[in-house]
């Protein structure tokens, strides 16, 4: 159920974004570049931000649900 909701949310988010042809070009904005376009024009960044972001995403692995038998209260052995 949870996976179905996540899939539906991602499809709705993708449908809500404007298509690539609908985005404005710098000439239509009066020749003003976006911050991302300026960074790309400057060349490679000193810090590999993509790798740093992946390292941060690895930290989310600590939020995984633990084993169902892990608890502070010992289970009864009958």
Does residue 39 sit in helix, strand or coil? helix
Structure letter (DSSP) for residue 72: S
Rounded Cα distance between 61 and 23, Å, is: 36
C-alpha radius of gyration, the chain, whole number: 23
pTM of the model: 0.31
Total Cβ atoms within 10 A of residue 39: 13
pLDDT at 78 over 60: no
Rounded Cα distance between 25 and 44, Å, is: 23
Tell me the pLDDT tens digit for each residue of 28-56: 667 777 787 788 888 876 777 788 888 88
Does residue 70 sit in helix, strand or coil? coil
């Amino acid at each position: 159920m949870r996976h179905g909701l996540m899939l539906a949310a991602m499809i709705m988010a993708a449908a809500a974004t404007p298509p690539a042809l609908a985005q404005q070009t710098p000439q239509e904005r009066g020749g003003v570049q976006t911050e991302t376009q300026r960074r790309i024009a400057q060349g490679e960044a000193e810090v590999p931000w993509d790798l740093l972001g992946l390292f941060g995403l690895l930290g989310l692995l600590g939020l995984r649900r633990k084993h169902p038998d892990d608890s502070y209260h010992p289970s009864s052995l009958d």
